[in-house]
């Protein structure tokens, strides 16, 4: 076979799933040359994730695509656990919007994946290569080379500075690199059935803890209903997928199966595994290639999107020569522990739905019934406080070591007022830059000229926050090079009121990188530059 084509890129991405497409959109928006390699002929269309959270929507907002995605979601999607008799013993319906969007949203993944794919068409330097098989790859000090074959069996070469492997739980890249993928495979399987023209039409998602055959019933956007049933020992995908057996399963949850429109069905095995390493020199693992988890908290998709946001801005800085490759080590430092926490939460939720032993189900129901009447615990469930929010203790940040410090956590995203009178979400002001946000003062006040120059080289927005009513002060001075925004309610002031500092340094992924007061900001900036390995 002769080489048909050579593709040159700054970053190659293996896998056109949501994580690969998100990273590609972010890098492309930053001017990085990207080539995506996908084995399939088109995007996957079978049943997959149905829950997208506020953090993922904030990530998609950074791509400029959230307005196209929101119409494919159902916001404020409650999750209800039912006893075998149908009594709700845990109702999870968080209504807070710390990050600008509903915390739990139903969605149909192929529709959102398609928005991400379409988003790449605006970038001339970005290539998406479908129907390509990876045959081998190798890396050296200068980059990564991938040998692929197209549908006609012709050989092609893709050369890039970095490879991001988003090629799923069975990742050929991870296996070739001999990276351990420790964890466990659940002893049972589940069959997923999607139905058009929802025959129940009840909102929300119900996890029914039936000891005979646990099942899930979920309302999805555009009139689609999803059912998930546990597969019993001895049952096969081939047998269960027969129309008469699908009808038999569905007859358990609806009065009649006449006229139902089954779109698709698929049997899944739930795994809980995490890669030993997320980076080997110029190759990085993201999404399912790095970690896989059961579906019960809807965190497989969302954990992958967290990987994408965490990794993409760092790769962009390194490729653009603004930061050293050492910055990429912070990706594993920050993401691995949280991914493991989400795996543990998902496994626990699976045990609540289908306890390994029957007696555990009776204990669960009794305890849950009692706890549901204790207000703090009910609130804990309603607000989803049991979900471990990412907090990074080390990596690309400067922390004081204080236990309750917001450093390493995602910053809030309230609506803010602009000088024009327009109201927007905070991230629309920041763009895909770093931000130095100061309460009431010019955030440049304590910075040396050298520090200001370095911040501008990295890409930064200097932002001053004032109470929105102060825009009406005719004597107000506007600092040069600073964007002033108005705190409409008291969200930002309340956030600063919980710290002893008045300037927050935000990374492009909206995580708090450091805190300071104007007098210490220059010193803190220098510390952060060292952590970012800036050039």
Contact 144, 282 (CB under 8 A): yes
CATH T-level topology, domain 415-532: Glutaredoxin (3.40.30)
pTM of the shown model: 0.92
Q: Per-residue pLDDT for the chain (535 aa), expressed as one digit of tens each?
A: 444 679 999 999 999 999 999 999 999 999 999 999 999 999 988 768 899 999 999 999 999 999 999 999 999 988 887 877 777 777 777 777 899 999 989 998 999 999 999 999 999 999 999 999 999 999 999 999 999 999 999 999 999 999 999 999 999 999 999 999 998 876 678 899 999 999 999 999 998 878 788 889 999 999 999 999 988 888 888 888 899 999 999 998 999 999 899 998 888 887 889 999 999 999 999 999 999 987 555 577 999 999 999 999 999 999 999 999 999 999 999 999 888 888 777 666 665 555 555 545 555 455 555 555 555 544 444 444 445 577 899 999 999 877 789 999 999 999 999 999 999 999 999 999 999 999 999 999 999 999 999 999 999 999 999 999 999 888 888 999 999 999 998 999 999 999 999 999 999 999 999 999 999 999 999 999 999 999 8
Phi, psi torsion values for 337, nearest 5 degrees: -65, -40
Spatial distance between the Cα atoms of 196 and 261, rounded to a whole number of angstroms: 5
3-class DSSP state for residue 497? helix
Beta strand 79-82 with 205-208 is parallel
Domains of the chain, residue spans: 3-68+110-182+272-334, 415-532
Which secondary structure element, helix H or strand E, spans residue 285, and what is its range?
strand 283-285
Equal fold, 3-68+110-182+272-334 vs 415-532: no
Spatial distance between the Cα atoms of 153 and 287, rounded to a whole number of angstroms: 29
Pick the CATH number of 3-68+110-182+272-334 from 3.30.930.10, 3.40.50.1260, 3.50.50.60, 3.40.50.2000: 3.50.50.60
């Amino acid at each position: 076979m002769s080489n048909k084509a050579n593709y040159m890129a700054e970053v190659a991405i293996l896998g056109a799933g949501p994580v690969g497409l998100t990273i590609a959109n972010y890098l492309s928006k930053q001017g990085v040359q990207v080539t995506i390699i996908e084995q399939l002929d088109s995007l996957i269309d079978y049943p997959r994730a149905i829950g997208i959270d506020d953090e993922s929507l904030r990530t998609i907002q950074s791509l400029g695509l959230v307005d196209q995605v929101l119409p494919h979601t159902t916001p404020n999607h409650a999750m209800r656990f039912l006893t075998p008799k149908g009594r709700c013993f845990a109702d999870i319906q968080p209504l807070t919007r710390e990050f600008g969007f509903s915390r739990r949203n139903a969605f149909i993944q192929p529709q959102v994946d398609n928005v991400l794919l379409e988003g790449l068409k605006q970038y001339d330097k970005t290539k998406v290569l479908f129907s390509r098989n990876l045959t081998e790859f190798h890396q050296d000090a200068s980059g990564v080379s991938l040998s692929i074959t197209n549908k006609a069996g012709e050989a092609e070469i893709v050369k890039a500075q970095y490879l991001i492997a988003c090629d799923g739980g069975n990742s050929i890249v991870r296996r070739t690199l001999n990276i351990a993928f420790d964890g466990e495979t659940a002893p049972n399987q589940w069959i997923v059935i999607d139905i058009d023209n929802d025959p129940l039409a009840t909102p929300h998602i119900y996890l029914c803890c039936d000891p005979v055959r646990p099942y899930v019933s979920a309302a999805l956007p555009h009139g689609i209903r999803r059912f998930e049933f546990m597969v019993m020992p001895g049952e096969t995908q081939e047998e269960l997928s027969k129309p008469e057996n699908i009808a038999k399963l569905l007859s358990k949850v609806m009065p009649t199966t006449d006229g139902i429109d089954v779109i698709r069905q698929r049997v899944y095995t739930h795994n809980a595994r995490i890669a030993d390493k997320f980076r080997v020199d110029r190759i990085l693992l993201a999404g399912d290639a790095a970690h896989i988890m059961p579906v019960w908290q809807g965190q497989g998709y969302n954990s992958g999107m967290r990987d994408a946001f965490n990794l993409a801005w760092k790769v962009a800085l390194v490729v653009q020569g603004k930061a050293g490759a050492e910055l990429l080590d912070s990706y594993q430092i920050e993401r691995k522990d949280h991914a493991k926490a989400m795996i543990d939460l998902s496994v626990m939720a699976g045990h609540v739905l289908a306890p390994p032993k029957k007696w555990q189900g009776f204990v669960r129901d009794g305890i849950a019934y009692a706890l549901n009447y204790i207000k703090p615990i009910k609130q804990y469930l309603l607000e989803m406080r049991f979900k471990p929010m990412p907090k990074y203790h080390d990596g690309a940040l400067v922390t004081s070591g204080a236990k309750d410090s917001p450093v390493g956590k995602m910053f809030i995203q309230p609506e803010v007022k602009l000088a024009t009178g327009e109201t927007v979400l905070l991230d629309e002001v920041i763009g895909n830059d770093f931000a130095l946000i100061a309460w009431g003062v010019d955030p440049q006040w304590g910075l040396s000229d050298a520090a200001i120059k370095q911040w501008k080289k990295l890409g930064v927005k200097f932002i001053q926050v004032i109470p929105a009513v102060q825009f009406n002060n005719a004597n107000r001075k506007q600092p040069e090079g600073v964007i002033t925004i108005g705190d409409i309610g008291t969200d930002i002031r309340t956030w600063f009121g919980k710290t002893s500092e008045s300037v927050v340094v935000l990374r492009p992924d909206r995580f708090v990188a450091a805190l300071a007061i104007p007098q210490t900001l220059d010193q803190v900036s220098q510390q952060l530059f060292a952590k970012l390995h800036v050039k």
